[in-house]
Structure 1
Amino acid sequence: MTGNERLMAAALDLITSRYRLARHQIGAALLDADGDIHVGLHLDAMVGRAAVCAEAVALGVARMATNAPIVLAAAVRHPKPDEIGPARLVPPCGLCRELLLDHAPGISVLVADAPGPRAVPLADLLPHKYIGTKWSA
């Protein structure tokens, strides 16, 4: 199994086992430079702003486990009961694009493409990233 396949399988396994309507809809997996995978689960909230994306949870899990650079991310969305079709690969939202690039500037993400998923540099999905003054870019 390739790194891409391992990553997608980890995200899919997590959301398949933990899916709960209006609570947990997305599972994410991050691959570090040592080859380890770190997973996170989307945490929805009654107040939308309090929700936490799966990629952010996975990043926190990764940072608790290692200082190794994070090199690849994948997120899988579970279909709602009234939706037809399987779980699908989804790109990170804008907030997660910013967060991941803050902590892993060289990261790539898996995106759905024909004929199958491919890794693209996250910076290509967010070409004009916000650069603040908290730390050096």
Structure 2
Amino acid sequence: MSRPAVEDPAPQCTDPTARLLVAAAFAAIRSRYAEARHQIAAAIIDADQRIHLGLHVDAMVGRAAVCAEAGALSAARLATDAPLIAVAAVRYPKPTETCGARIVPPCGLCRELLLDHAPGLRAVVDDDRQAVLVPLAGLLPHKYVGTKWPPTRP
């Protein structure tokens, strides 16, 4: 018995940048999905309109897992110093799930990490009606600010 096709959630995005990022993340996870290994892909776009992808890498010890957003951030920083504009992540359903692929917001750890490196970053989130781009800082209103690096402004 074959699995029905999983639909791309990009059409629910009204913003062209959001649609582009969600489509890129969906294409990445659709091609690389492996149950209990890779379930989420992320895409970050920079100011030069280049897209950088990251793949969730699960681990037997949960703390050793790497989020897709962290992978996309690393890929972006390897490729460019250009400002980062927006991020989107897509979760692919397990074979036992009947839901489709869906847009997921960055976890708390990724929100902190992304804001450390891109204070003005926006994230694609699903607000139950449509997928929209929102300032990531709004999803983490009381971000930790340490003294390790000089302060940065969005």
TM range (shorter): over 0.9
One of 102, 118, 124 as aligned partner of 2:138 = 124
Match of residue 99 from structure 1: 113
Cα drift, residue 113 of structure 1: 1.9
- In the alignment, residue 150 of structure 2 is paired with which amino acid? S
Match of residue 28 from structure 2: 14
One of 72, 85, 89 as aligned partner of 1:75 = 89
Match of residue 26 from structure 1: 40
- In the alignment, residue 115 of structure 2 is paired with which amino acid? L
Ranges of 4+ aligned residues in structure 1 off by more than 3 Å: none
Match of residue 37 from structure 1: 51
Question: Gaps spanning 5+ residues in structure 2: where?
Answer: 1-14
Q: Distance in 1 between matches of 2:99 and 2:142?
A: 34
Aligned length: 137
Cα drift, residue 81 of structure 1: 1.1
Match of residue 65 from structure 1: 79
Cα drift, residue 114 of structure 1: 4.1
Q: Quick check: 1:2 aligned with 2:16? A: yes
- In the alignment, residue 9 of structure 1 is paired with which amino acid? A
Match of residue 124 from structure 2: 110
Match of residue 55 from structure 1: 69
- In the alignment, residue 45 of structure 2 is paired with which amino acid? L
Q: Quick check: 1:46 aligned with 2:90? A: no
- In the alignment, residue 41 of structure 2 is paired with which amino acid? G
SS of 2:143 mapped into structure 1: coil
- In the alignment, residue 98 of structure 1 is paired with which amino acid? E
SS of 2:45 mapped into structure 1: strand
- In the alignment, residue 95 of structure 1 is paired with which amino acid? L
CA distances 1:85-118 after superposition (whole Å, capped 9, x unpaired): 2100000000000000000000000000243110
SS of 2:94 mapped into structure 1: coil
